[in-house]
């Protein structure tokens, strides 16, 4: 378990250091400022109108659910096709 903890600590520290170093680049710095400002505006909007946040979360969850359902259906169809092909091959 100790190795796992050290690994994740290293990943987090590396990501933080990498993120900090990239802020020396002016474009990256402007991007971060813009992203933080936009996130703050969105958060303020949701605190003023929590119903909007809930509706958006519901739409997002619905979209994710549909995507997962579609992918599962596709995967099941693929497995059935493979199974059918294997059965044909085995039964020859």
Residue 10 has a pLDDT of 92
Structural domain containing residue 62: 50-92
Residue 28 shares a structural domain with residue 61: no
Q: What is the CA radius of gyration of the chain?
A: 24
pLDDT tens per residue across span 12-38: 999 999 988 988 889 988 998 999 999
Residue 75 shares a structural domain with residue 57: yes
Residue 70 shares a structural domain with residue 37: no
Residue 4 has a pLDDT of 86
Residue where the block lists tokens 């969105």: 42
The number of folded domains in the chain is 2
Distance of alpha carbon 81 from its chain centroid, rounded? 30
* pLDDT reading at 1 higher than 80: no
Residue 37 shares a structural domain with residue 8: yes
Residue 37 shares a structural domain with residue 66: no
């Amino acid at each position: 378990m100790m190795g796992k903890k050290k690994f994740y600590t290293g990943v987090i520290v590396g990501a933080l250091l990498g993120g900090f170093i990239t802020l020396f680049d002016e474009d990256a710095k402007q991007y971060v400022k813009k992203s933080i400002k936009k996130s703050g505006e969105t958060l303020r909007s949701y605190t003023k109108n929590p119903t909007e946040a809930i509706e958006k979360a519901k739409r997002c969850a619905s979209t994710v659910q549909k995507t997962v359902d579609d992918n599962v259906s596709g995967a099941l169809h693929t497995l059935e096709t493979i199974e059918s092909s294997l059965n044909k091959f085995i039964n020859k």
